[in-house]
Amino acid sequence: KKYKVAIVGATGAVGREMLKCIFQFNFPFESLKLLASARSAGKVVEYEGHEFVVEELTENSFEDVEVAFWSAGGSISEKYVPYAVKAGCINIDNTSHFRMDPEVPLVVPEVNGEALRNHKGIIANPNCTTIQMVSALNRLNEYFDIERIIVSTYQAVSGAGVAGMEELYRQSKEVLDGKEPIAKTLPCAGDKKHYPIAFNCIPQVDKFDLDNHFSKEEMKMVNETKKIFDKDIKVNATCVRVPVLRGHSESVYIETKKPIDIDKVFELLSSSHGVELYDDIENQVYPMATLFIGDELVHVGRVRKDLDNDHALSLWVVADQLMKGAAYNSVDIGLKMIEMGLL
Ligand code: A2P
């Protein structure tokens, strides 16, 4: 069977990758509708010899759509997904809007694909930082039983969309030209102040929760990891924006119930679906963001047992967050649903 498909937010950083992934991973489509704001209506998008004319997203866009991939922002999903559900469309949503809704499965296919069976027309794609972490840790959690995760992220500017990438390019040039870099978007488009990202690290991704002093991005890692793995897992996250265009890196420390057997760790990581063990320190082999642009896997290196705690392990996890962290995971959810007979 082939499906009538739509991409909502098709002109955005993730939307463009969704189009690529639909072709690259052979999502079987009969028709493909590209939706964005009125500003983009009529624009022509070309991909591998196919031409698509972008249409404006409206309440009536889904009458002839069976599967929609969403990445136009939380408020757009909040407003329009209900119309799509009413029209009988299955919605795979990359925004944060529905993620913590108990009625909505939050899915990384190789980790908790079975949760898809309970969907009611909406499936949420987790936050990019959560996806690559739970994908890397899944087999370790099954075997060693993770109690606590402490993670620091090094996140690329493309996580803030096309505007984030433009800002890094422009500011880098401003600095190299001897000018003062002008900040308009980062760390967070909707917050009061903006700081330069060129030649800098910013310890803020998304707005802050003034009650607990964590950022919303950090709380996504906490809450989504609990929803996907186990509500009792303790998670502490520090999310940092770095001047990298594409690809998030994470320094992950875990504490486990079972003592760490390092040979078993390597065996599990090298046989984890969707994960590539990329670890050979003698030859200075470890994952770096620039190595894996456009790649759909999660790459793990710098794997080492803690020096003091026999139940603890450190690792370094890198993925192209526009791919595994967003577009590829969404399309893979669709493919998994076909495989499970749910589409
Ligand atoms: P547009 O390009 O027409 O503004 P990014 O995350 O890279 O900033 O991309 C955001 C995506 O969401 C773009 O495709 C953008 O379309 C789309 N978008 C933003 N606002 C709306 C809206 N009001 N209706 C539909 N799509 C929207």
| Per-residue pLDDT of the chain in tens (343 residues, 90 and over written 9) | 999 999 999 999 999 999 999 999 999 999 999 999 999 999 999 999 999 999 999 999 999 999 999 999 999 999 999 999 999 999 999 999 999 999 999 999 999 999 999 999 999 999 999 999 999 999 999 999 999 999 999 999 999 999 999 999 999 999 999 999 999 999 999 999 999 999 999 999 999 999 999 999 999 999 999 999 999 999 999 999 999 999 999 999 999 999 999 999 999 999 999 999 999 999 999 999 999 999 999 999 999 999 999 999 999 999 999 999 999 999 999 999 999 999 9
Range list for CATH 3.30.360.10 in the chain: 130-321
- Amino acid residing at 330: S
Its CATH class, for the domain covering 130-321, is alpha beta
Catalytic residue ranges: 128, 248
Range list for CATH 3.40.50.720 in the chain: 3-125+326-339
Whether 165 and 13 have beta carbons less than 8 Å apart is answered as: yes
Token representation of residue 93:
């949503």
Determine the distance separating the centroid of ligand 1 and the alpha carbon of 117, expressed in angstroms: 30
Could you tell me the CA-to-CA distances from 271 to 190, 252, 259, 291, 303 in Å, in that order?
A: 41, 19, 20, 21, 15
d(CA 28, CA 338): 10
Q: Nearest 5°: CA angle at 75, between 70 and 78?
A: 70
d(CA 124, CA 16): 19
Whether 330 and 5 have beta carbons less than 8 Å apart is answered as: no
**Global ipTM:** 0.98
Ligand 1 atom closest to Cα of residue 8: 26
d(CA 133, CA 220): 12
Token representation of residue 291:
């190595």
d(CA 262, CA 308): 14
CATH architecture group of domain 3-125+326-339: 3-Layer(aba) Sandwich (3.40)
Which residues fall within 8 angstroms of residue 87, CB to CB, at 6 or more apart? 62, 63, 65
Ligand 1 atom closest to Cα of residue 38: 3
The protein residue whose alpha carbon is closest to atom 12 in ligand 1 is: 72
Ligand 1 atom closest to Cα of residue 162: 7
Kind plus residue range of the DSSP H or E element containing 35: strand 29-36
The protein residue whose alpha carbon is closest to atom 24 in ligand 1 is: 37
The protein residue whose alpha carbon is closest to atom 25 in ligand 1 is: 37
